[in-house]
């Protein structure tokens, strides 16, 4: 397997893989196999322009509710992740 070239992209952590989606407007980010041979422990969606994280799911959330998490990930790949402010009471 070839080495992954590390580049500086706003919002991307170290040796993370970043796949452009939505015509390059967002990035789907996850651990490279060089970092974690067992597979990725999380997925993130990042605004490619600002570097702001829009969505994050880790492996425990997948274990707890796989259908919901997979649905959100697939929907975000198709339509983009949206940052929704949460009001705290």
Q: Give residue-wise pLDDT tens across range 24-49.
A: 999 999 988 888 888 899 999 999 99
Is the pTM value of this prediction over 0.75?
Answer: yes
Residue 6 neighbours by CB distance under 10 Å? 12
Specify the higher pLDDT residue, 86 or 60: 60
Reference 31, options 51, 48, 66, 56; nearest CA is 56
> What pLDDT band is residue 86 in, cutting at 50, 70 and 90?
low
Query: Rounded distance, CA 82 to CA 70, Å?
Result: 16
How far from chain centre, in Å, is Cα 38?
Answer: 17
- Eight-state DSSP code of residue 41: S
Specify the higher pLDDT residue, 64 or 88: 64
State the average pLDDT over residues 40-67: 93
The pLDDT score that the predictor gives to residue 8 is 63
The answer to whether residues 31 and 44 touch, using CB atoms and an 8 Å cutoff, is no
Residue ranges covered by each domain of the chain: 16-79
């Amino acid at each position: 397997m070839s080495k992954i070239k590390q580049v500086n992209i706003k919002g991307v952590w170290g040796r993370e893989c970043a796949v452009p989606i939505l015509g390059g407007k967002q990035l789907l980010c996850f651990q490279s196999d060089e970092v974690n041979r067992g597979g990725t422990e999380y997925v993130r969606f990042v605004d490619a322009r600002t570097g702001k994280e829009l969505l994050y799911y880790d492996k425990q959330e997948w274990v707890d509710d796989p259908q919901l998490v997979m649905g959100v990930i697939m929907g975000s790949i198709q339509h983009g992740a949206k940052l929704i402010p949460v009001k705290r009471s």
